[in-house]
Amino acid sequence: MPHLRLAPPAPTRPGILLPRRDLALGWTLLVLIAALAWTLTLAQSRDMGVEPGTMGLALPLFLALWVTMMAAMMLPSLAPVALTWVQAINRSTGGGTRTLRIAEFVGGYLLAWAGFGLLAYGALAATGRVVDSHPGAGRWIGAAAFLLAGLQQFGPLKRVCLRHCRNPMFQLLRYARSRPWAKDLRVGTQHGLYCIGCCWGLMIVLIPLGFMNVAAMAGLAAVIFLEKLWRGGPWLSWAVGLVFLVLAVLAPFQDWLLPGLERSGPSMDQMLGRAH
């Protein structure tokens, strides 16, 4: 009988290809950018409640805030891929070309996250309208969101995308041999899509927990980081999936689990309508 290896694959370590000095510098830069994104998110959250829908935000402002949130939550977990690819750019080009290539690579991530933000905006807007017209529907929307998030943690898309995010070296080598036209933009976009495929279920729980629920965002950011960079990340994914399934059962009977689906007063849209 062949030997079965049940242990999940170890995540890629960026230090394999990067000198220790460059690795420390890269990590420091990513942490500083993430800290800035968290600071901006916290500052914005003070002026916004935890309510259903988009809270009256226009689409451009929502996308700007969404991309900032994604940077805060995901940047540390992207370190192995980002640092490795940027180091490859540094070794092969210099000057303005290097800056342009790095900008394209970062722009690819931003493009993927902004596209995901469009879907999130539509889902939140629809949720807000339903809760406004049928307040009791919020508990069932919350249960459905937790159920979908829990099932996604066990699904094949999660496994494929998480495996890629934990050990992306094969994909990076394949990207390196691809056509040069907009290669860095395509690498950033494609890996950003893998990250979305891995984490969209985690993000959907912000519908019941609240789009601007900072505590929930911090908890999800920790899960994303550990899933991708901790050896036991796949086991953590299953544990989180079980938690979501339990919350799906409890949500219809426990309103405190659904702060993002309860109106604390008139909605922002209603207030704007009264002003006119």
Q: How confident is the model at residue 178 (pLDDT cuts 50, 70, 90)?
A: low
Instruction: Give the best-scoring range by mean pLDDT among 23-32, 87-96, 107-116.
Output: 107-116
**31 pLDDT band (50/70/90 cuts)?**
confident
- Angstrom distance (rounded) from CA 76 to CA 12: 14
Measured from the Cβ of residue 79, the count of other Cβ atoms closer than 10 Å reads 22
Does 176 have pLDDT greater than 70?
Answer: no
Instruction: Give the pLDDT band of residue 103 (cuts 50, 70, 90).
Output: confident
Arithmetic mean of pLDDT, 244-250: 96
**Residue 55 DSSP label:** T
| C-alpha dist (Å) from residue 111 to 30, 115, 124, 188, 199 | 18, 6, 20, 9, 16
pLDDT score, position 89 = 77
Share of the chain above pLDDT 70, in %: 82
